[in-house]
Amino acid sequence: MTITPNGFDLDNTGQRIVVDPVTRIEGHMRCEVNVDDEGIIRNAVSTGTMWRGLEVILKGRDPRDAWAFTERICGVCTGTHALTSVRAVEDALGITIPENANSIRNMMQLNLQIHDHIVHFYHLHALDWVNPINALRADPKATSELQQAVSPSHPLSSPGYFRDVQNRLKQFVESGQLGLFKNGYWDNPAYLLPPEADLMATTHYLEALDLQKEIVKIHTIFGGKNPHPNWLVGGVPCPINVHSTGAVGAINMERLNLVSSIIDKCIDFNKNVYLPDVVAIGGFYKNWLYGGGLSSQCVMAYGDIPENANDYSAANMHLPRGAITNGDLTTVHDVDVRDPEQIQEFVDHSWYEYGEPGKGLHPWDGVTEANFELGANTKGTRTNIEEIDEAAKYSWIKAPRWRGNPMEVGPLARYIVGYASGHEDITEQVNGLLTTMDLPVDALFSTLGRTAARALESEYCGRLQKQFFDKLVTNIKNGDESTANIAKWDPSTWPAEAKGVGMSEAPRGALGHWVRIKDGRIENYQCVVPTTWNGSPRDSQGNIGAFEAALMNTKMERPEEPVEILRTLHSFDPCLACSTH
Amino acid sequence: MPEIETFYDVMRTQGITRRSFMKYCSLTASALGLGPAFVPQIAHAMETKPRTPVIWLNGLECTCCSESFIRGAHPLAKDVVLSMISLDYQHVLMAAAGHAAEAALDEAMEKYHGNYILAVEGNPPLNEDGMFCISAGKPFVEKLRHVAEGAKAVISWGACASYGCVQAAKPNPTQATPVHKVITDKPIIKIPGCPPIAEVMTGVITYMLTFDRLPELDRQGRPAMFYGQRIHDKCYRRPHFDAGQFIETWDDDNARKGYCLYKMGCKGPTTYNACSTIGWNEGTSFPIQSGHGCIGCSEDGFWDQGSFYDRVTDLTQFGVEKNADQVGFAAAGVVGGAIAIHAAVSALKQAQKKTQSTPETNKEEV
Amino acid sequence: MTDSTASSPLAGTDADAEDLAHVSRQTSVYVYEVPVRLWHWINAAAIVVLCVTGYLIGSPPPTMIIAEATHQFTFGYIRFAHFAAGNILAVAFLGRMYWAIFGNHHARQMFYLPILNVEWWREVLFEIRWYLFLEKRPKKYVGHNPLAQLAMFCFVTLGVGFMIITGFALYGEGLGAGSWADRMFGWVFLVVGGNSHVVHTLHHLGMWWIVIFMIIHIYVAIREDIMSRQSIVSTMISGHRTFKDDDPN
Ligand code: HEM
Ligand code: HEM
Ligand code: NFV
Ligand code: SF4
Ligand code: SF4
Ligand code: F3S
Ligand SMILES: [Mg+2]
């Protein structure tokens, strides 16, 4: 038994459970835990099992193209890397963007938050709590009543509506071709919802599937497509023309109306479906308080959604910035991503090489050199790993640290930082939810807290989206239609050498890109990504990462059925393509 | 497979009337660009066919292809998944994980051996024994080969599976390799794009279900119906191209009038895809309509064609960072300079010769 | 092709016994028949047009706003001129190939290299030395001198051939899948890996290859006209090669 510096008792005796692939996430991930006789997790190991080498591929390229490469780090949080990339390049080259570009970028980023959160909750997470097979036993009338009780203004709530869905589900199940639901853990006692709630939530699974394709159209309008909209160093590529000839070839009144109607759809769904579902489902799982992990100790956010263009100071951000360590909620530290003492990445347990053990590198000086090797205690072979040896290198994810601490990032981290620093909207939302659900603040530090924070954030982002829409329209009204600053578009205007950093709050948490530019080309490019933080392996000090910490001490109903592991891992919305890039 | 219900059964028991079923069929027909004459054929296909099992594998990728797939509007993603195919293995959406997920895969492979469609998103890396992409403890490439063995046909989703995409961009550190270079004994349909358009993805699947055959493929193995023409061939800005009316720089007057993006590096003239016709996200827009050039995302190696913003791109193929004109000007300059010197020397020699000899004695020189 | 013996002073060139007789006894040989001359000047004109319009296709002139797009065809005309010249170039090239078979033996010279003929290589070397001012006295040639033959083959036969093949591959993209050009030249895209942007780049580079040829070609033609022992420029007009002396060597 060892106690890690960040305070977790690790015991790798007992039964070793392997979950590989971890599904309903983005990318490839493996998880191994040791459970004791009572089925309680006493050791947790999370492994990122893919690497593509984007940081290597970016070297030598045109910095103006980098957004497109980094955007392809992930198609789920699509756009957020691109935004972070153009910010990094603009920072390096001293490029400012027009106010309209800031509003449009904000709307796109907020839109991503909402989309990602809704898809996460309904399609990647819900099946950990909701049993669609059990929904077949529901009385549609009772479901209708439940729906009307939790969300009186949601129009789709008649018994007939739920009966139709149930019938469709029934046919699907009776066909014997269970498809995506096949081999789910449907008779595991961990599922606690009554059939009515299961039917309601399953119905919303389908509604959300229909809705999400509408939401992203804001990306399509401004960026031409989704996934992977287009961006531009110096602004946004879409011109605005609302008054004169040729307007139909640009952002015009029709486009703005479409944006506005989508924003309203987001707001409605958050209010009428998403939040009520979280409250309703959460209510049945109130006592499942596992999964807090690092959230009560070390959380961090970079902040995002700048009110005014080109000001990336914490005070100008709608999503909060700051770091909390040692569980001290009374102190919110400033985060300076340029400070080589603050952010460093370690690779002692990662499949990379720095040439020196225990070394940490600030991303501006970061090195990405793959080195796949397994520890002596690995069970299996090099190409057939049965059990991994966490004492050695064991993940394609690097281990980022803030002043030496592993940190949790993401919606919950943002909400804790916001709450601790007295962010008005966030405080109001959190207090409101806790009151509604009759829960203490401590309940936030849990798997469900993460899931709830995400829903609150989706709601908040919906409002912000509207705010920036209005700002855009007001600005156009005032005669400003500009969307791009081309003063430094031409590489001949650039300094011979420059370095910059871009930050954002991606759906899964704090995201940073660090770039060095030399002679008009990328000399070094490093990304430290939300899931790099959360999915971090151990570091040279033995600190475990956020996923690992959150799994600790969870009781599993049936160790061979990893429902509980999935619940907690999913509550982070892991993105492995992001984490390793 | 008698326990398998048909698509029509599913729709009927959902409370969908014969009339709206026929309407659905005619919508499908028009989505596929077919005339009303095909509606009965589609209806018949839907009435008699069981849901086709699909196994979807993920290699090195970014999951944007899955994301695009669920954006499908006609048909809706939920209808595809609930009523048209049986998605028996799909990491991003499936309920089961770990052993239970792999058991579902084994079962589907065994039960539908020779009959399932293998859809691949992403690609296998071959370096490091394939361990840059590990699934269930083993190299992904192994899984790919194993599942392909019993597949009826393979769909390569997106630029990753079709061509390698971003991870295969130079220097391709993991040796990410497109599917057709690893699976060589199965019919492979490439649906490139980064990602492909949702309705193209579902369009190809519905085509195969409806007509019970593989779509006609172009020279590169892409369905001709969606990849037969360039963005440029059907771009609504084409009249501006022909007129020579270009956006000269971002956000200029010409941009606000929607002129052609050629000078901003648009790769529409060399990109085969359906964006300028079908459009993205239910036809809401497509890259060019929103003011950015096409970056050629459905073409092989589009990451390595120089900057996205140059029309005459840098010669990355030759390891120099100058474009054809810069190289050409330089070479022509060198040749021109050499000729100038050569001409000067020649003139000098000629002058010397003239002073040294009379014209008649020319022949006596040896 | 040549019945001169290896010891002949003009071995390795395309001169035959009859030519040799002319070289020593007469002052003029009919080298370039009408089709060759016609082709030459059509070809020259087409290539100039192709280079100018081709360059503009890569880097279009500044936007002109004369009318609504539908009623203005500025860039379209530039491209049309390119394709028209391209088609003329290609047809003329085919005609020239036909004449290589049915014309006089000089007409063949551009299309082959006698690379197995040691003497020919020696002559190439001699010509290089001549251009490097290492030889005092130039030799007489009826057709192309061997170095010129090498240059013509590389720049024109291969160069223009390459431009025609890549040009029509690109043209096939515009005509569309299944068009004659696509069927005949579509394979070009597969050779470069599939992305036709690569073909644009190669075609564009090819232009510079041709431009470099033009610079050298015109310079050398004029220089040789002055410094060699035979007529050059007028030969491509009249077809007759006139020699400035009677010495066969
Ligand atoms: C000496 C001969 C030629 C020269 C110097 C030449 C030069 C060029 C150049 C510089 C380009 C621009 C390439 C780019 O950067 O996109 C071009 C494009 C093109 N050329 Fe040629 N070319 C020649 C022959 C031909 C021929 C024989 C054809 C056949 C019809 C042809 C058809 C084309 C086509 C179709 C394009 C693309 C036009 C477009 O994208 O709008 N070229 N040419
Ligand atoms: C793009 C422009 C041109 C091209 C592609 C071109 C190409 C050629 C070719 C292929 C030949 C060899 C003919 C054969 O063996 O059948 C030739 C010969 C010749 N060209 Fe050009 N030419 C060009 C422009 C010119 C110009 C502008 C002149 C005039 C100064 C010129 C003068 C000659 C002469 C004098 C010959 C005959 C050389 C000899 O007697 O061996 N050419 N040219
Ligand atoms: N981790 C991560 Fe992302 C997010 N959110 C990136 O920045 O998902 Ni793919
Ligand atoms: S093709 Fe593009 S969008 Fe699809 S997985 Fe690959 S990188 Fe992502
Ligand atoms: S915008 Fe692009 S695709 Fe459209 S006409 Fe211009 S060059 Fe062609
Ligand atoms: S970039 Fe891709 S999305 Fe379409 S317009 Fe070009 S193929
Ligand atoms: Mg990194």
Higher pLDDT, B358 or A402: A402
Alpha-carbon span A504 to A304, nearest angstrom: 5
* H helix and E strand count, chain B: 13, 7
Tell me how many residue pairs between chain A and chain B have CB atoms under 8 A apart.
Answer: 336
Q: Kindly tell me if the per-residue pLDDT of B7 is higher than 70.
A: no
Alpha-carbon span A369 to A367, nearest angstrom: 6
pLDDT band at C10 (very low <50, low <70, confident <90, very high): low
Burial of A424 (0-12, 13-18, 19+ CB in 10 A): exposed
Q: Kindly tell me if the per-residue pLDDT of B146 is higher than 50.
A: yes
pLDDT for the residue numbered B10: 62
Q: Kindly report the CA angle at B309 between B305 and B312, in degrees rounded to 5?
A: 60
Q: Do C212 and B267 touch (CB under 8 A)?
A: no
Q: Kindly tell me if the per-residue pLDDT of B305 is higher than 80.
A: yes
β-bridge pairing B151-157 and B134-135: unpaired
Mean pLDDT, all residues of chain B: 90
Q: Map residue A232 onto helix, strand or coil.
A: strand
Q: Do A246 and B256 touch (CB under 8 A)?
A: yes
Q: Which domains does chain B have, with CATH numbers?
A: 51-227 (3.40.50.700), 232-354 (4.10.480.10)
Burial of C18 (0-12, 13-18, 19+ CB in 10 A): exposed
Alpha-carbon span A294 to A544, nearest angstrom: 9
φ, ψ for residue B188, nearest 5 deg: -120, 130
Q: Do B256 and A241 touch (CB under 8 A)?
A: yes
Q: Kindly tell me if the per-residue pLDDT of B319 is higher than 80.
A: no
Tell me if A238 CB under 6 Å of ligand 3.
Answer: no
Question: If you write DSSP's letter for every residue of A503-571 in order, what string do you get?
Answer: EEEETTEEEEEEEEEETTEEEEEEEE-HHHHHT----TT----HHHHHHTTPBPSSTTSTHHHHHHHHH
Q: Do B97 and A521 touch (CB under 8 A)?
A: no
pLDDT for the residue numbered C4: 39
Dihedral, B349, B351, B357, B360 alpha carbons, nearest 10: 100
Per-residue model confidence as pLDDT tens digits over A176-199: 899 999 999 999 999 999 999 999
Contact criterion met (CB below 8 Å) for C170 and C203? yes
pLDDT for the residue numbered C95: 96
Q: Which residue stretches of C17-61 are H helix?
A: 17-25, 34-58
Per-residue model confidence as pLDDT tens digits over C194-219: 999 999 999 999 999 999 999 999 99
Higher pLDDT, A546 or A177: A546
Q: What is the mean pLDDT of residues A522-549?
A: 98
Cβ atoms < 10 Å from Cβ of A545: 30
Give, for A301, the enclosing helix (H) or strand (E).
strand A299-306
pLDDT for the residue numbered B49: 67
pLDDT band at C162 (very low <50, low <70, confident <90, very high): very high
Q: Kindly tell me if the per-residue pLDDT of A344 is higher than 60.
A: yes
Percent of chain A past pLDDT 90, that is, above it, reads 98
pLDDT band at B185 (very low <50, low <70, confident <90, very high): very high
Q: What is the mean pLDDT of residues C214-225?
A: 94
Q: With an 8 Å Cβ cutoff, is B343 touching chain C? A: yes
pLDDT band at A56 (very low <50, low <70, confident <90, very high): very high
Contact criterion met (CB below 8 Å) for A102 and B347? no
Q: With an 8 Å Cβ cutoff, is B240 touching chain C? A: yes
Percent of chain C past pLDDT 70, that is, above it, reads 92
pLDDT band at B189 (very low <50, low <70, confident <90, very high): very high
pLDDT for the residue numbered C247: 79
Tell me if C78 CB under 6 Å of ligand 1.
Answer: no
Alpha-carbon span B121 to C222, nearest angstrom: 62
Residue nearest to atom 32 of ligand 1 (CA): C167
Among B290, B294, B299, the mutation site with the greatest number of ligand 5 atoms within 8 A of its Cβ is B294
Residue A189 CA to ligand 4 center (angstroms) comes to 38
Question: What's the one-letter identity of residue C146?
Answer: P
Sheet holding A29-35, edge to edge: A15-19, A29-35, A41-48
pLDDT band at A550 (very low <50, low <70, confident <90, very high): very high
pLDDT for the residue numbered C246: 79
Q: Do A372 and B138 touch (CB under 8 A)?
A: no
Alpha-carbon span A338 to B6, nearest angstrom: 60
Tokens of B350: 């000629």
pLDDT band at B365 (very low <50, low <70, confident <90, very high): very low
Question: What's the one-letter identity of residue C121?
Answer: W
Among A111, A526, A529, the mutation site with the greatest number of ligand 3 atoms within 8 A of its Cβ is A529
Chain B residue numbers touching A239 (CB-CB < 8 A): 250-251, 255-256, 291
pLDDT for the residue numbered B276: 97
Per-residue model confidence as pLDDT tens digits over A378-406: 999 999 999 999 999 999 999 999 999 99
Contact criterion met (CB below 8 Å) for C81 and C48? no
Secondary structure E strands in B176-327: 188-191
Tell me if A280 CB under 6 Å of ligand 3.
Answer: no
Contact criterion met (CB below 8 Å) for A82 and A63? no
Q: Do B239 and C189 touch (CB under 8 A)?
A: no
Which residues does A326 contact at the CB level (< 8 Å), separation at least 6? A297, A298
Higher pLDDT, A3 or C142: A3
- For residue A25, how many C-alpha atoms fall within 13 Å in the half-sphere facing its CB? 32
Per-residue model confidence as pLDDT tens digits over B231-259: 999 999 999 999 999 999 999 999 999 99
Which residues 130-169 of chain C have a CB within 8 Å of chain B? 131, 133, 136-137
β-bridge pairing B188-191 and B151-157: parallel
Residue nearest to atom 36 of ligand 2 (CA): C236
- CATH 1.20.950.20 for domain C8-242, yes or no, is yes
A574 Cα nearest atom in ligand 3: 1
β-bridge pairing B85-90 and B116-121: unpaired
Mean pLDDT, all residues of chain A: 97
pLDDT for the residue numbered A341: 97
A253-269 vs A99-119: helix crossing angle, rounded to 10: 40
Percent of chain A past pLDDT 70, that is, above it, reads 100
Among the residue ranges A484-493, A542-551, B24-33, C38-47, the one predicted with the least confidence is B24-33
β-bridge pairing A299-306 and A317-324: antiparallel
Alpha-carbon span C200 to B258, nearest angstrom: 25
Which residues does B311 contact at the CB level (< 8 Å), separation at least 6? B262, B263, B265, B266, C58, C59
CA pseudo-torsion sign C91, C95, C96, C100: positive
Q: With an 8 Å Cβ cutoff, is B218 touching chain C? A: yes
Tokens of A228: 């992977």
Task: Tell me the nearest-neighbour CA distance from C143 into chain B, angstroms.
Answer: 21
Dihedral, B17, B18, B22, B28 alpha carbons, nearest 10: 50
Contact criterion met (CB below 8 Å) for A527 and A85? no
Per-residue model confidence as pLDDT tens digits over A158-167: 999 999 999 9
Give, for A83, the enclosing helix (H) or strand (E).
helix A80-93
Q: For C140, which residue in chain B has the nearest alpha carbon?
A: B363
Chain A residue numbers touching B259 (CB-CB < 8 A): 249
Q: Kindly tell me if the per-residue pLDDT of B8 is higher than 80.
A: no
Q: Do A50 and B194 touch (CB under 8 A)?
A: no
pLDDT for the residue numbered B27: 73
| pTM given for the model | 0.93
Contact criterion met (CB below 8 Å) for A239 and A483? yes
- Residue given tokens 């490469």 in the structure block: A69
Q: Kindly tell me if the per-residue pLDDT of C134 is higher than 70.
A: yes
Q: Do A249 and B171 touch (CB under 8 A)?
A: no
Tokens of A268: 């409605």
Tell me if C42 CB under 6 Å of ligand 1.
Answer: no
Q: With an 8 Å Cβ cutoff, is C25 touching chain B? A: no
DSSP state of B260: B
Mutate which: B235, B259, B292, B307, vs A, most A CBs within 10 A? B292
Mean pLDDT, all residues of chain C: 90
Per-residue model confidence as pLDDT tens digits over A235-259: 999 999 999 999 998 999 999 999 9
pLDDT for the residue numbered B317: 59
Higher pLDDT, B321 or C128: C128
- Residue given tokens 């030889």 in the structure block: C135
Q: With an 8 Å Cβ cutoff, is B315 touching chain C? A: yes
Mutate which: B335, B353, B362, B365, vs C, most C CBs within 10 A? B335
* H helix and E strand count, chain A: 17, 15
C55 Cα nearest atom in ligand 1: 10
Q: For A79, which residue in chain B has the nearest alpha carbon?
A: B64
Q: Kindly tell me if the per-residue pLDDT of A106 is higher than 90.
A: yes
Q: What is the mean pLDDT of residues C95-120?
A: 94
Chain C residue numbers touching B332 (CB-CB < 8 A): 208, 211-212, 215
Residues measured by CB to lie within 5 Å of ligand 7, the ion: A 527
Mutate which: A99, A181, A228, A261, vs B, most B CBs within 10 A? A228
Alpha-carbon span A291 to A296, nearest angstrom: 10
For chain C, give every domain's residue range: 8-242
| ipTM confidence | 0.94
Alpha-carbon span A196 to C118, nearest angstrom: 94
Q: What is the mean pLDDT of residues B118-134?
A: 98
Residue nearest to atom 30 of ligand 2 (CA): C218
Question: If you write DSSP's letter for every residue of A103-144 in order, what string do you get?
Answer: HHHHHHHHHHHHHHHHHIIIIIIGGGT--TTGGGG--HHHHH
Alpha-carbon span A473 to A471, nearest angstrom: 5
Alpha-carbon span B174 to B166, nearest angstrom: 11
Q: Do C177 and B229 touch (CB under 8 A)?
A: yes
Q: Do A62 and B309 touch (CB under 8 A)?
A: yes
Closest in B254, B305, B324 to C208, CB measured:
B324
Q: With an 8 Å Cβ cutoff, is B135 touching chain A? A: yes
**Cα separations (Å) of B274 from A245, B196, B236, B271, B287?**
28, 9, 13, 9, 12
